């Protein structure tokens, strides 16, 4: 997966949710969208980019959403 493309997509999702004045609603909305509409491979690749490259290029709200909902976005392997 191209991390730069995933970052751009995640940032676009964040831009939509950032119109909500409630920070918790913003991070919940971003994480919920990623969980519902992104393939698990895409979510794992985004988390790997955050872990390995500090989330370079990601908006702070994307980083907060992944940090706060990590277990739901990337469940442990069986």
pTM of the predicted structure, to 2 decimals: 0.93
Confidence at residue 32, expressed as pLDDT on a 0 to 100 scale = 98
Residue 75 clears pLDDT 90, i.e. is over it:
no
C-alpha span between 62 and 50 (Å, rounded): 10
Confidence at residue 76, expressed as pLDDT on a 0 to 100 scale = 74
Residue ranges covered by each domain of the chain: 3-73
- Alpha carbon dihedral 43, 48, 51, 53, in 10-degree steps, equals -120
List, for residues 12-38, the tens digit of each pLDDT value: 999 999 999 999 999 999 999 999 999
List, for residues 39-67, the tens digit of each pLDDT value: 999 999 999 999 999 999 999 999 999 99
């Amino acid at each position: 997966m191209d991390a730069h493309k995933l970052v751009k997509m995640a940032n676009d999702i964040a831009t939509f949710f950032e119109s909500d004045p409630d920070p918790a609603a913003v991070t919940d909305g971003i994480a919920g969208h990623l969980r519902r509409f992104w393939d698990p491979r895409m979510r794992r690749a985004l988390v790997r980019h955050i872990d390995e490259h500090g989330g370079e290029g990601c908006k702070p709200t994307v980083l907060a959403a992944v940090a706060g909902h990590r277990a739901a976005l990337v469940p442990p392997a069986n």
